[in-house]
Chains A and B, each alone.
Chain A
Amino acid sequence: MTEEFASKSAVAIDRAKAEGRAALVGYLPAGYPTVQESIEAGIALARNGADLIEIGIPYSDPVMDGPVIQAATTEAISNGFRVANVFDVVAGITAATDAAVLVMTYWNPVMRMGVDEFARRLAEAGGAGLITPDLVPDEAHEWFEASDKYGLDRVFLVAPSSTPERLDMTVKASRGFVYAVSIMGVTGTRTSVSSSAQDVVARAHAAGAERVCVGLGVSNPDHVREIAAYADGVIVGTALVAALRDGGVDAVGQLTKNLSAGLGRAAAEA
């Protein structure tokens, strides 16, 4: 990983580490159910224990997302969400909290705005960087340039299926942290966390990743506790989106509080 400047994501993860725990990363889509409410929900995430916040850009063809997130992002688009609104959401949350705010996006909306322009506006809004589910380092030349220019984190994904060569290449290309996909599948809650997650994290660490966070299928404090024992961060998405859908901003805050109780690696050991 390249660290020419202070990565906001790395700072947030290291702060949790200094407290003897893994970091909590919470995902919510921008503009769901409205732009304003998504800002409020993001602030609730941060105030109740999320160290990093992942704001998704609703997209017409989200091939890595399961039904819950698909339904939410489709609703956001039909409620009038525009891609440029994501900068308002990022700015709104960063102004009110200390959390590092990343944007998770499929690549075409970034390409359409222009990679440099998108990066410039994200940095201006106080964003930490991008998580890119359908952009692999092999296709990311423009993003390397823009992320260096504006000091943004590049969070690429590694998967149980990644070969040692690809894992190595992806770890080197990433900045901030590496996103380890826990299972072969799309987003959505699952009853248990796949055992392959621990293996991917170990392989990423061995390849030189200083910070590895685990996502996909993580939905309750038990999952969080299990992953916090070996990973640097735990990513929760679908469960939070479902909470927002069913109980609004308060439910997001409550679930975040419950989830963060599982992070206390040192406390549990002490």
Chain B
Amino acid sequence: MVDAPTAGSEENAADAFLQGGPSLRHASGPYFGSYGGRWMPESLIAALDEVQDTFEKAKADPEFIAQLKDLNKNYSGRPSLLTEAKRFSEHAGGARIFLKREDLNHTGSHKINNVLGQALLAKRMGKTRVIAETGAGQHGVASATAAALLGLECVVYMGAEDCRRQALNVARMQLLGATVVPVTNGSQTLKDAINDALRDWVSNVDHTHYLLGTAAGAHPFPAMVRYFHEVIGEEARSQILEQTGKLPDAIAACIGGGSNAIGLFHAFLDDASVKIYGFEAGGEGVETGRHAAAISLGRPGVLHGARSYLMQDEDGQTIESHSISAGLDYPSVGPEHSYLADIGRVTYEAVTDTEAMDAFSLLCRTEGIIPAIESSHALAGAIKIGKRLTEGKDTPSDVTVIVNLSGRGDKDVETAAAWFNMLDEEGHVKGTTLSTRKPKGPTERTSEAAVDVNEDQN
């Protein structure tokens, strides 16, 4: 998996595996091949059992299913649209690119699917407090949202470096009533936020549910988080059939922990004709060592409770990952992805910061959609596979590709403005500091609400 496989090997891998093989759907864990499991302290095993038991019962309970469907429809705004990106497609070899619009969900990303499900489970378990980790802040915002909606206390652990990169989302979480704890251990990013969330959980497990935000971690999280996101792929599959009359040639998603990807992939795993691509964060380039491409360049190990591909050194110490995208800046990956990589059903490739930001800009200018930088990795990947799949074809528009647009890019505007050289020396957007009027409005008063927000952090 070090290099992108050639087109020939891609075509054969999926078919070979699927010939007469069992269905790849609904894998229940704890193991996905040799991956997954529960590499966790004994103190947390009882809590994991409780989550698993509650989840299994809820899945079989029509009342729970109805509750979740109602929230998905009337709160999140599902089903999310499948939008054909006609002008963007011209840059992808002429393949027809369709965007699964998870960016249009309430809170602006796919993360809401999982948090609503898990927050309902937390209520069922009688827990009064949820904790979460967040990288880009999308999962933290979604968790704070679900907690507000269902009346739960919410504490979000966020790497101090990520707080800096995603300051707007820190404010959003606080406005929603959550406490944000900046994590200054280790690399001060997502993995360290998970470490601190686990430390909190082991200390407060009697009344606290750990609302893990990605399809990684100890069983039952990978299978459970996937379950709550399966709606993405199920909708996309019926929408593409309705819009084009056939299955897509390929589907693509970005991979950090891999929750949006597994949610899209799941419905298509048994469709042998559909090629499936996961795009990891290649950072400054996989050859530089500064990346987050765990499958492409890692080797199996255990982190945060699961055996999976992991960026680690010769001593088994976790290597710090790098990506312009806070949400993909994670040195491991969900265990089901490791399994799908090994059996060849899904092809995983790395996309660099530069490629992702080029695709970000392209989507803004061709479709009027500002994507999350995470999702921009999938867009960049779609351009590559669109070109690859249409090569030599007389009618490239016969080729269809679905890309999971997992989130919107409002949170990334500051990062993008810096990347595209839109800021002046003081970090202000150029041309926004010319007003000669005295500032008025909220800046003049000492808001009591603002003071409260700060106090909540202590």
Contact = CB atoms under 8 A, between A and B. Distances in A.
A112 B39 CA distance: 15
Interface string A245-269: 0000000000000000000000000
Given A61-B318, A136-B38, A184-B206, A108 B199 contact: no
A161 B47 contact: yes
Contacts of A162: 42, 45-46
A119 interface: no
A63 B198 contact: yes
A70 B304 CA distance: 16
B407 to A, nearest CB: 26
Given A111-B301, A161-B46, A163-B46, A184 B205 contact: yes
A108 B303 contact: yes
Interface residues of B, number: 36
B287 interface: no
Contacts of A62: 195
Contact of A77 (B49, B304, B317): B317
Interface string A60-78: 1111101000100010010
Nearest to A63: B198
A111 B301 CA distance: 7
Given A60-B318, A139-B37, A108 B46 contact: no
Contact of B202 (A59, A84, A185): A185
A166 interface: yes
A134 B40 contact: yes
A63 B318 CA distance: 13
Contact of A108 (B44, B204, B206, B302): B302
B425 interface: no
Nearest to A112: B316
A199 B317 CA distance: 36
A110 B39 contact: no
B38 A108 contact: no
A59 B203 contact: no
A63 B199 contact: yes
B454 interface: no
B316 A108 contact: yes
Nearest to A58: B317
Nearest to A185: B203
A64 B310 CA distance: 20
B312 interface: yes
Contacts of A59: 316-317
A263 to B, nearest CB: 26
A101 B366 CA distance: 66
Interface string B291-320: 000000000011111000010101111100
A82 B315 contact: yes
A133 B198 CA distance: 13
Given A63-B195, A109-B317, A185-B202, A161 B39 contact: no
A71 to B, nearest CB: 9
Given A135-B39, A184-B206, A166 B315 contact: no
Interface in A114-163: 133-136, 138-139, 156-163
Interface-central residue, B44, B198, B301, B316, by most chain A CB under 10 Å: B316
Given A83-B316, A110-B316, A162-B46, A139 B41 contact: no
A60 to B, nearest CB: 4
A207 B120 CA distance: 37
A244 to B, nearest CB: 21
B43 interface: yes
A38 interface: no
Interface string B265-305: 00000000000000000000000000000000000011111
B186 interface: yes
B457 to A, nearest CB: 18
Given A60-B186, A61-B195, A108-B312, A181 B317 contact: no
Interface residues of A, number: 40
Given A61-B186, A161-B47, A166-B46, A136 B40 contact: yes
Nearest to B319: A60
A42 to B, nearest CB: 21
A220 interface: no
Interface-central residue, B40, B43, B45, by most chain A CB under 10 Å: B43
Contacts, number: 111
Contacts of B226: none
A84 B317 CA distance: 13
B301 A108 contact: yes
A136 B42 contact: yes
A157 B45 CA distance: 11
B243 interface: no
A113 interface: yes
Given A61-B195, A61-B303, A63-B198, A112 B312 contact: yes
Nearest to B316: A112
Interface in A158-172: 158-163, 166, 170
B186 to A, nearest CB: 7
Given A184-B202, A184-B203, A134 B39 contact: yes
B67 interface: no
A181 B42 contact: yes
B185 interface: yes
B325 to A, nearest CB: 21
A73 to B, nearest CB: 11
B46 to A, nearest CB: 4
A55 to B, nearest CB: 16
Interface-central residue, A83, A110, A112, A136, by most chain B CB under 10 Å: A112
A158 B316 contact: no
B165 interface: no
A109 B310 CA distance: 12
A186 interface: yes
A135 B41 CA distance: 7
B191 A61 contact: yes
A107 interface: yes
Contacts of B315: 82-84, 109, 112-113
A159 B43 contact: yes
Contacts of A161: 42-47, 205
A247 to B, nearest CB: 25
Given A108-B302, A111-B301, A135-B39, 7 more contacts: A63-B195, A63-B198, A111-B302, A112-B301, A134-B39, A181-B42, A184-B206
Interface of A: 59-64, 66, 70, 74, 77, 82-84, 107-113, 133-136, 138-139, 156-163, 166, 170, 181, 184-186
14 contacts: A59-B316, A61-B192, A61-B303, A61-B304, A63-B41, A66-B199, A77-B317, A83-B316, A163-B49, A184-B203, A184-B205, A185-B202, A185-B203, A186-B199
